[in-house]
Amino acid sequence: MERWVVVTIVTAGYLALSLLVGWISGRKASDTVTGYVAGDRGFGLLVMYFVTSAMMFSAFAFLGTPGWAYSRGGAAFYVLSYGLLGFAPWYFLGPMVARVGRAYGYVTQGELLSGRFQSTTLSVLIAVVSIIAFIPYIALQMKGAGIVFNAVTDGHVPIWLGALAAYGVVMLYVLKSGVLGVGWTNTFQGIFMLVIAWALGLWLPSHLYGGIGPMFERIAELRPELLTAPGLDASGAPWGWGAYSSAIIVSAIGVTMWPHLFMKGFAAKDDNTIKLTMVLYPTFLLFLLPLYFIAFAGVLFETKPPSADFILPHMILSTNIAPVVVGLFCAGALAASMSTGDAMLHAAASVYVQDMHRKVFDRKMSDHGRKRLIQVVAVIVGIAAYYIAVNTEMSLVALLLAAYGAVVQLAPITAAAFFWKRATARGAVAGLVLGSLVTLFLYQFPEYRPFGLHEGIVGLAVNCAALVAVSLASKPMAVEHVSSFLRTSRTET
Amino acid sequence: MICDQALKCHLRQAVFGVRCSKFTCNIMKNRLVPTLAVAFYLAMAFFVTYPGYVPFDRIRPFVLGMPFAMFWQVLWIIASIFVLTGVYRWEKRRSAARRSETRGG
């Protein structure tokens, strides 16, 4: 049998299994918004662990991290640092989010913040920012899936078909099972990715160099500049410490502000589940190590991939490996893409309905009606992202980064919601808007960045200043409302 | 005595020469472990960015086959597991103690 046929069969088998897991996992969920968006607040430790970590571990991590380590060396260590620093606060914040969620019935980040600040404007702003950030991100994940599928089948499966197959499956289980489908498929996909990553991460270095140690010894002789931080920048020149350090800080502050991650706080069964997830979460970062080994194995590889992100498929296709293994690799890459894409698709639809549609267009919508509408919107978002993924050649990364800049700006408002009584709606809106605009401006005009710092850091500083100044200048919020919110967040259950 | 943690208060006075206030007492009694955890992550933020990372950002010695700069990252990840496990167990013990207190009283 030809290689591409075997690869396609293995990958199709993986897709069928994903569909099966996703389809049956939702059968116990209640037919409500809480059931569909927050899994009836019943996620246990296993699912929480994989939901949190597999979402981090997107197509970007599976292909992008090796690409970074391959082309930029130690610059890629920043992923390990911010992954750890970013999630640590969630140990303390996550249970607070879950408590107010249970008490007030919140299932999205926008609901929580607009509930605390009693502001529809804030809710709509958050919804708009989230959706602008999500659609290009989902499109990127789809494109990633299509490209990998296309490469490993030697071009026999076109990009549009690969993306359609992977995301057709995603769409089916998201529609049927909601967040439970996302959670359980992420668990299956997460375990699958880990096995593939470790198998390849240990096998490639030993096959090519006789082990991980000997491989790094060789690199230390020939390309020592790749083995230490801050590594190289995108053009191959040495990267600055300022940029490296501020990238870590901004990413660490921003990572848990992604709505699809934040929302999973509402799905946890109890406080202990969130805390234990965070205790165990660093183990997942250790699981990322083989991706670095793979990337460094590519540094001295005799041929070069078409682009840095392709180092992993490139090595696999040119080392004469068994076709079944190539198929498993392809399935692993699809798993990475799908475990992020499904959560985003589901979150984008939920955020639109809960934070925007319900508050602006139809205030009297029934719970059941909203659940139905979320499903409809998920289909629309999926089609829009698919259209962008297949039809546009322009780089989506710019749009994505711009939107991510705005997502990071939610951090000071979230902190103020829980820790600063005097914070007001006007302060929150002012901080979010000004912080995002400054970030966007410095992203477009890098020459104005002070000391080469990451644009997000400057945005955060402006955001905090505006939040404090405008809050103090505006009328304080009703004391009873704020105190009961804060008390709820601190009462252990 | 403001503080019921008499021993810790005396220790504090002996070591730092500072008398116990209500504020410091509260930290010693209820927030010491979480405060140490926060301190750990602040220290980490310092030691994995500029300038704290610089002395450890080196290729040799190799540890477990990895360059030292990479092993340094792994070390913080493993330390973090221990720190949060510590906080988790401390919180468990404290809430168990509180429960038995309310039941007894």
Q: Does B30 touch chain A (CB under 8 A)?
A: no
Q: With a CB-CB cutoff of 8 Å, which residues 209-248 of chain A face chain B?
A: 211-213, 215-217, 220, 224, 227-229, 241-242, 244-245, 248
**pLDDT band for position B1 (cuts 50, 70, 90):** very low
The whole-angstrom separation of Cα A275 and Cα A48 is 10
A283 contacts B81? CB cut-off 8 A: yes
The whole-angstrom separation of Cα A377 and Cα A131 is 11
**pLDDT band for position B38 (cuts 50, 70, 90):** very high
A245 contacts B49? CB cut-off 8 A: yes
| pLDDT tops 90 at residue B22 | no
pLDDT reported for residue A333: 85
Burial A57-88 (b: 16+ CB within 10 A, else e): bbbbbbbbbbbbbbbbbbbbbbbbbbbbbbbb
Whether A467 and A430 have beta carbons less than 8 Å apart is answered as yes
> Distance from A243 to chain B by nearest Cα, in Å?
10
Q: With a CB-CB cutoff of 8 Å, which residues 10-29 of chain B face chain A?
A: none
Chain A interface test: which of B56, B63, B80 (most A C-beta within 10 Å): B80
Count CA atoms closer than 13 A to A247's CA, side-chain side: 18
pLDDT in tens, A144-185: 888 888 888 888 889 899 999 999 999 999 898 888 988 898
Residues of chain A under the 50 pLDDT cut:
none
> Which three-class secondary structure state does DSSP give residue B46?
helix
A211: left (phi over 0), alpha (psi -120 to 50) or beta: left
> Which three-class secondary structure state does DSSP give residue B5?
coil
**Taking residues B56-70, what's their average pLDDT?**
92
pLDDT reported for residue A383: 94
A88 contacts B80? CB cut-off 8 A: yes
Give Dmax over CA atoms of chain B in angstroms: 60
Q: Which positions ≥6 away from B66 have C-beta within 8 Å? A: A212, A216, B74
pLDDT reported for residue A189: 86
> Distance from A65 to chain B by nearest Cα, in Å?
14
Q: Which pair of structure tokens corresponds to residue A447? A: 């020459």
Highest mean pLDDT among A170-179, A465-474, B2-11, B26-35: A465-474
The whole-angstrom separation of Cα A176 and Cα A228 is 47
pLDDT reported for residue B10: 67
Among the partner-chain residues B53, B64, B80, the one whose CB lies closest to the CB of A282 is B80
> Which three-class secondary structure state does DSSP give residue B90?
helix
pLDDT reported for residue A256: 84
Give residue for tokens 């990071």.
A408
Chain A interface test: which of B59, B62, B93 (most A C-beta within 10 Å): B59
pLDDT reported for residue A486: 92
Q: Does B85 touch chain A (CB under 8 A)?
A: yes
Q: With a CB-CB cutoff of 8 Å, which residues 36-75 of chain B face chain A?
A: 37, 41, 44-45, 48-51, 53, 57-60, 62, 64-67, 69-70, 73-74
| pLDDT tops 60 at residue B3 | no
